[in-house]
Amino acid sequence: MSLHDHDSVSLDSRDIENSHVDVNDKAEIILPSSVIDDDDGKYGELILLGYNGSQDSKMSVPLKRHRTKMILIRRKQGNGIKKGSVSQVNVAAKDAPAVLDSSRHVVSYSYGKHQTVLVEYILDPNKDMFQELDEDDVPSLYVWREVSVDGDVYTLRETRSSNARGAMVPEETNMLQDGTLIDLCGATLLWRTADGLAKSPSANELEMALDRLNAGKPQCPVNLNTLIIPKKRSNNSTSSRQPYVYLNCGHVQGKHDWGFHSTLNGLPTFKCPICLAESERVIQLTMGMESSFHLDSGSLDYAFNPCGHVASFSTVRYWSRIPLPHGTNSFHPVCPFCTTLLATEKPFVRLIFQDHLFDN
């Protein structure tokens, strides 16, 4: 669901099924206090896709930090707003008294030269408002929608730049559900409810799963040394302990030149020393550390292609089936840990480790 035309807008809290939210501007997220049942008053979290467990980012602007996670907690006194009166005046929007009054919250629509429609929003103490800054199986249906200033739901426009909005969907509303995605035209947020987070693996559980995997001492059959899957991607790709996976067969090994050669047309080919299968590339492996993106803390035996972030089968399958907005009118699945576009034919690869060789 998207918001067009205005910068200061709000999402009302009503019910919606099988929908991801697409928002194309700064927005206010409004939640009713009545939905809170837990003691700490936590609604949930908004997590920015593409940051693998980092709490802040310094990538976009040097020397400035930007939060990659926002926790929404019930306020002591609601600060929400709701639609109030609607009026029409025969003056330009910039000259309308209601717009000039700084104590009122008014959205104006201009048509003609001096005709203006004014929609006033009034305080609603029964809602909380927050400002956004710059199951085992996978559900079978994902739907992107657009949201108007008033919170009405529409089908998507033909292109993002189109002035013609889609058809209204009156049976759907814009309440955020666990797993809702919010597209901000360049940044994508994931909404996780407090209940959803409680059922998801914690950061400690993921670290324990990674420790168990590394404790198996996976071996490289060529270098004959132990491999360690890191928590963060290292620029030092020549490390002898850094694991790589052969794309076609899934065997995990260290960095070496055995079996590497170029085809007649100059393309590189990597022959696996274990099964002798040839792959067009090998992928450097890194653990996916943002716990909010994981469906479970099961066996970490899969990785996204082509970025190499490691997760369980349920997690990689889930994200590989969610098309995110890409460009002006296309959609494509991405890795949630780095937002790299996933390969179309093989979005993830199963990992085969040579581990537990020293167990009794």
Tens of pLDDT, residue by residue over 310-346, are 999 999 999 999 999 887 778 999 999 999 999 999 9
Average of pLDDT values for 158-165? 84
For residues 110 and 96, give the distance between their C-alpha atoms in angstroms, rounded to a whole number.
11
Same-domain check for residues 222 and 341 = yes
Residue 20 reports pLDDT greater than 50: no
Indicate whether 117 and 249 sit together in one domain.
no
Has residue 268 been placed in a domain? Answer: yes
Q: How confident is the model at residue 163 (pLDDT cuts 50, 70, 90)?
A: confident
Same-domain pairing of 119 and 204: no
Residue 358 lies in a domain: no
Residue that is last in its domain, among 65, 98, 123? 123
Helices (H) and strands (E) counted in the chain, each on its own, are 4, 27
Residue 112 pLDDT level (bands cut at 50, 70, 90): confident
Pair (216, 326) in one structural domain = yes
Residue 58 in any domain: the answer is: no
Q: How sure is the predictor about 173, in pLDDT bands with cuts at 50, 70 and 90?
A: confident
The mean-pLDDT minimum among 17-31, 159-173, 293-307 falls in: 17-31
In a domain, 173, yes or no: no
Q: Taking all residues of the chain, what is their mean pLDDT, rounded to a whole number?
A: 80
Tell whether 205 and 346 lie within a shared domain: yes
The pair of three-digit structure tokens given for residue 89, joined into one six-digit string: 């005046």
Same domain, 204 and 300: yes
What DSSP assignment string belongs to 213-225?
HHHT--B-TTT--
CA atoms of 82 and 59, how far apart (whole Å):
37
Picking from 10-24, 35-49, 251-265, which range would have the lowest pLDDT averaged per residue? 10-24
206 and 330 housed in the same domain: yes
Residue at which a domain ends, from 73, 105, 123: 123
What's the pLDDT score for residue 7? 33
Q: What is the pLDDT of residue 40?
A: 67
Q: Quick one: which of 320, 50, 315 has its CA closest to 209?
A: 315
Query: Containing domain of residue 282, as a range?
Result: 200-350
User: Is the pLDDT at 131 greater than 70, yes or no?
Assistant: no
Asked if residue 239 has pLDDT above 70, the reply is yes
Is 105 in the same domain as 236? no
Task: Give dist(CA 142, CA 139) in Å, integer.
Answer: 8
Residue 9 has pLDDT above 50, yes or no: no
Residue type for position 253: Q
Q: How far is CA 140 from the centre of its chain?
A: 18
76 domain-assigned: no
> Based on the structure, what is the number of domains in the chain?
2
Q: What per-residue confidence (pLDDT) applies to 335?
A: 97
pLDDT of res. 349? 97
Per-residue pLDDT of 175-210, as tens digits, reads 888 999 988 877 899 999 999 999 889 999 999 999
**Residue 138 belongs to some domain of the structure:** no
- Split at pLDDT 50, 70, 90, the class of 348 is very high
* Same domain, residue pair 95 and 223: no
Q: Within 10 A of 208 (CB to CB), how many other CB atoms are there?
A: 13
pTM of the model: 0.68
* Domain termination site, one of 123, 155, 177: 123
Report if residue 226 sits inside a domain. yes
Of the candidates 290, 210, 231, the residue with the CA atom closest to the CA atom of residue 49: 290
Do 210 and 340 lie in one domain? The reply is: yes
If asked whether residues 311 and 204 sit together in one domain, one would say yes
For the ranges 17-26, 122-131, 295-304, the maximum mean pLDDT occurs at: 295-304
- Report, as an integer, the average pLDDT of 17-22: 38
Regarding whether 114 and 210 lie in a shared domain, the answer is no
- CB distance 219 to 243 below 8 Å: no
**How confident is the model at residue 60, as a pLDDT?**
47
**In-domain check, residue 85:** yes
